[in-house]
């Protein structure tokens, strides 16, 4: 079974009344962290639950030690899965109102925890609204889920392991999901140090989508990713804080390629230690 599939708005409509299907709204704004939750209250795809990037999909930041969105603890994830009414056989559909970055973060967390039957709403909330489909204010029942996650330990790479590997003959392929100006260090709107991890390649996550915000076809994604990845078992994705990197990993899944590992702390954790090297430019 594929680790990830796309679902159209029309396909999702047919599952709205099926209790085996769980829909999760992942809307969020880095600039205004409560905007997504407020938008959810004002209207969401019928039956949708809400997951907040900071409260549900991340653990608290420890200044000077972690990146901006540390992975949630197992206890946090267990509580989230219960609240979402998640069962082992649930089909889970994820969406946001942007480019799919926040939905992809929850997809990766669920897959990392062993959940299958996962979908992204192709085109996100915009696709739903373009189809003229209604939003709802009703809140779903919650708190009955029995799914228990078990993390894949080998899906992650730590900062220390990565730093050591940079000097190894088996240095991994590093793929940075941020836009080229941030990768180069020309601008840095979020973190106190600009640049990238040495030897990384820039792979902007937004290039996984077409101009209308829909995912590129699987064959096109494969053409984009396969030459860069090399041996995907030695490939690591990162970004600013471990969120948009999941979008690139999702692209690998949609392309039918093996998943790269995630450096979850990403750039915002990397620069917490001044002894870690920083590169700028191309």
Dihedral class, residue 107 (left if φ above 0, else alpha if ψ from -120 to 50, else beta): alpha
CA angle 256-259-262, nearest 5°? 150
- Give CA torsion, residues 186, 188, 193, 199, to 10 deg: -60
Cβ partners under 8 Å of residue 271, min gap 6: 191, 192, 193, 278
CA distance 262 to 242: 8
CA distance 132 to 188: 38
Catalytic pick among 26, 237, 239, 246: 239
CA distance 201 to 149: 32
Is residue 26 annotated as part of the catalytic site, yes or no? no
Sign of the Cα pseudo-torsion (70, 247, 91, 151, in order): negative
CA angle 111-116-118, nearest 5°? 80
CA distance 11 to 13: 5
CA distance 76 to 87: 16
Please give the positions annotated as active site: 239
């Amino acid at each position: 079974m594929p680790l990830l599939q796309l679902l159209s708005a029309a396909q999702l409509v047919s599952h709205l009344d099926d209790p085996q299907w769980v829909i999760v709204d992942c809307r969020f704004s880095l600039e205004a962290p409560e905007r997504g939750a407020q938008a959810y209250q004002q209207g969401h795809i019928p039956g949708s639950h809400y997951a907040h990037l900071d409260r549900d999909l991340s653990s608290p930041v420890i200044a000077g030690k972690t990146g901006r969105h540390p992975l949630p603890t197992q206890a946090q994830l267990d509580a989230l899965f219960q609240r979402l009414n998640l069962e082992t056989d649930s089909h889970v559909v994820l969406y946001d109102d942007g480019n799919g970055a926040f939905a992809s973060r929850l997809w990766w967390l669920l897959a990392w925890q062993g959940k299958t039957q996962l979908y992204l709403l192709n085109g996100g909330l915009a696709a739903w609204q373009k189809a003229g489909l209604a939003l709802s204010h009703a809140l779903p029942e919650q708190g009955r889920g029995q799914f228990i996650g078990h993390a894949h330990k080998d899906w992650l790479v730590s900062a220390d392991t990565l730093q050591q590997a940079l000097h190894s003959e088996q240095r991994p392929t590093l793929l940075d999901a941020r836009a080229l100006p941030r990768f180069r260090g020309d601008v840095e709107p979020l973190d106190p140090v600009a640049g990238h991890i040495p030897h990384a390649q820039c792979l902007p996550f937004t290039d996984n989508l077409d101009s209308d915000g829909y995912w590129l076809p699987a064959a096109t994604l494969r053409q984009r990713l396969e030459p860069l990845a090399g041996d995907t078992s030695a490939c690591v994705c990162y970004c600013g804080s471990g969120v948009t990197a999941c979008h690139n990993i999702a692209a690998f899944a949609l392309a039918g390629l093996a998943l790269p590992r995630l450096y979850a702390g990403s750039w915002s954790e990397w620069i917490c230690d001044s002894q870690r090297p920083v590169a700028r430019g191309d």
